Amino acid sequence: MNLGRPLWAEISRSTLAANFREIQRRAAPAEVCAVIKCNAYGHGAVECAKTLEAAGANWFAVTSPEEGIELRHAGISQRILLLSGFWREQAEVVVKHSLTPSVWESEHLDWLPRYIPEGERFPIHIEIDTGMSRQGVPAAHARSFIERASAIPQLEIEGIYQHYATGEDCGEGPRGQEETFAATLAELPELNIAPKYLHLCNSGATIARTSQTSFPSAQQLVRCGIALYGYWLDFENPAGAPNWNTQPALSWKTRVISLRDVPAGTRVGYSGAYTTTRATRIASLAVGYGDGLNRLLSSRGHVLLRGSRVPIIGNVSMDVTLIDVTDVPGTSLGDEVVLIGIQGEQAIDAWDHARLCGTIPYEILCAVGARVPRIHIE
């Protein structure tokens, strides 16, 4: 018996697994590192990791040690890459739980060795900043940093990587970063360093670059996140961009919890932001911005009810959202309402929300709140 609010997200295991296999097929011989940071972009990190593990994933990537430890406690034994490194107080647990840190600050090289058992070598991946100016060793200082890391006997430089600033550019945009990264790699033989893993691409870059002969052949990993869940950003210079056979894995649903009839001229919701222009039947839904439904959808967004697109009216409030069901005869208490997903012949996806809110589907998915249960279905 479900004793919670009538609000939930369904994640299709079969869709997630199929998406992974499609990306792996396209990216081969590179291996897919499944990015499941931020609770698997709102899909539920632990359950997604188990599904992807069964589908063949050998690498996962998360933001921080605490996200990695959650996976370890759930029994995930595959490699886990920490994309945003670690802080001083986290160095011990990074080693204890066999997490693979990204490193780029000299302090990273100071903090780790003190916790590595004598005689052991601990793998690290060095990020090179080739043009994003967010994190990573600036390319101009990469050689000296790599030399210093290689001189520390407890550390093994297992990987070196970069991150595209414009991964969705199918044209010449990323070339400068690729050239900078290649120049760094060209110095490695002089240092007697041959990392096992080189990686350049996120989801957008994996899709964009595999559409051309320019897919970086040197890399052994691609870091795919949003594409696993059926989305990516719009491509720049999209000529020749492939039509990948991936589908959204998440559906978000609620139910009608109240119905009322009001006359024309009735102000609706907080601040009376919407006024009815006709006799209107209003349904209340058990969802609000406290659950992650963006307030910018107020009087702009739609939901699916009984196979029809139905408008949101008034301001989305913290816990309740109102819709106009006047044109949906037979609407009843308990009717299932789709916020994101498919119902009948109609569909609403995270892009539909994102475009109305002036954002990207990443934010829409990640914003689905902690009080929305995730139900993983076949």
Would you name the residues annotated as active-site residues? 37, 270
Are 340 and 294 a contacting pair, CB within 8 Å? no
Owner of token pair 């139910």: 255
245 vs 95: CA distance, rounded Å: 38
Return the DSSP state at 221: E
Are 127 and 162 a contacting pair, CB within 8 Å? yes
Q: Is the bond leading into 29 cis (omega within 30 degrees of zero)?
A: yes
CA dihedral over 143, 144, 146, 147, signed as positive or negative: positive
CB atoms closer than 10 angstroms to residue 213:
7
107 vs 9: CA distance, rounded Å: 41
Tell me the backbone φ, ψ of residue 307, rounded to 5 degrees. 80, 10
Are 200 and 224 a contacting pair, CB within 8 Å? no
Position 356, amino acid = L
The token pair that represents 59 in the structure block: 């690498």
- Nearest C-alpha neighbor of 207 from the set 155, 167, 176, 173: 167
Are 67 and 45 a contacting pair, CB within 8 Å? yes
The token pair that represents 110 in the structure block: 């100071």
